[in-house]
Amino acid sequence: MAMDWEPLTLWASLVIYVLAGSLAIFGVVLRKPHEKAVLALLVPGLALNTVSIALRWERLGHGPYITMFEILLSNIWSLLAIYLLAYWRIPAIRPTAAVVMPILFVMMGWLLVTSPHEGHLPATYHTVWLFVHIAFGKLFLGNVLVAVGISGVILLREARQAGSRFARLPDDSRLDELSFRFMAIGMIFETLMLIAGAIWAQDAWGRYWAWDPLETWSFLTWLSLAFALHARVAYKVSPRTGALMVLAVFALAFLTFFGVPFVSTAPHKGAV
């Protein structure tokens, strides 16, 4: 019998992610960073993850955006890809992997308990706006995730046990600046995601906005981003408060991406 490469590559990528994440966490805890090794693991992990998604795509004839399993799978991939890019390009923030990888572990655990069954592709999904919308959404969440990693370091520094372990990173105000640059880029992509989504909704359902659960929650996420960016202009916001706002935006975004499809059967409930 031919080997089934799809689950095999998926499992291999998850195992490699867990190894890389553990290495990153122990590197921080034991003060023995192996940043290059983490990078060297994440790259083939992502490659295997890509192969697994491509095989599933090929087998089903549509991309990973219908079922909860597919939404989790493709977001683990995109979040890792974007984080990996930041990890590679900005060596100063590599210890943030100790914050970011556990978040991805949660998603991987969730993926493993989710049924990988095939979903039905609604007629309204045959449009290029689907890809535009999803791509911008992934770029948005990926940028916010990098900001979350940085914010996590800012907050952990206050803890007596952990603080000194992040001493090598730039000071809080520099981290805060960087984190909000990622939030600003995230704001652009979130705005683009909403626009593409509205165009799609107009085409598919004859209205560009109808406050369905996903539309409502993604707009609230957008407002929370606007709030966070403005708060920094209106007040002198401390890095700690800034970091908490980043986490709040991420929590809302996370609920929007993975909570709403979880409670409703289709990504856009009642509208497919």
Partner 1 sequence: MPENSSSGTGRRILTALASLKLTLVILAALGAGIVAAYLSATPTIWALAVPLGAFAGNLIAAVATNPVFRRKTALLIFHLALIALILLIAAGRLTYLKGQLELAEGEVFEGQLTQEESGPWHPRRLHALRFSNEGFTIHYAKGVRRGATRNRVAWMAPDGQLRRAVIGDQNPLVLSGYRFYTSHNKGFAPTFTWHPGSGAAPVTGTVHLPAYPLHEHKQAIEWTPPDSRTPLWVMLQFDEVILDPAQPSEFRLPSAHRIVVRVGEERHELGPGERVRLAEGVLEYNGLRNWMGYTVFYDFTLPWLFAACLLAVISLAWHFWSRFSARPWDKPSTGTS
- Residues 205-244 close enough to bind ligand HEM by CB under 6 A: 226, 229-230, 233
Q: Which is nearer to partner 1, 36 or 207 (CB)?
A: 207
How many chain residues bind partner 1 (CB under 8 A)?
43
Residue 263 as a binder of ligand HEM (CB under 6 A): the answer is no
CB of 173 to partner 1, least distance (A): 7
The piece of 75-83, 103-111, 224-232, 254-262 that touches partner 1 (CB under 8 A) is 224-232
CB of 242 to ligand HEM, least distance (A): 11
Residue 203 as a binder of partner 1 (CB under 8 A): the answer is yes
Quick one: CA dihedral 21, 185, 47, 197, positive or negative? positive
The piece of 41-49, 50-58, 122-130, 256-264 that touches partner 1 (CB under 8 A) is 122-130
Q: Which is nearer to ligand HEM, 75 or 221 (CB)?
A: 221
Length of the chain: 272
Helical segments of 157-238, H only: 160-163, 172-205, 213-234
Q: Which is nearer to ligand HEM, 84 or 228 (CB)?
A: 228
**C-alpha torsion angle, residues 201, 205, 209, 210 (rounded to 10):** -140
Residue 184 as a binder of partner 1 (CB under 8 A): the answer is yes
Residue 88 as a binder of partner 1 (CB under 8 A): the answer is no
Interatomic CA distance for residues 6 and 52, integer angstroms: 5
What is the token pair recorded at 221? 């996420």
Interatomic CA distance for residues 149 and 162, integer angstroms: 15
Residue 3 as a binder of partner 1 (CB under 8 A): the answer is no
Residue 187 as a binder of partner 1 (CB under 8 A): the answer is yes
- Whether 146 and 82 have beta carbons less than 8 Å apart is answered as yes
Cα separations in angstroms, 48 against 13, 43, 53, 75: 5, 9, 9, 15
- Whether 183 and 225 have beta carbons less than 8 Å apart is answered as yes
Give the interface with ligand HEM as residue ranges (CB under 6 A). 226, 229-230, 233
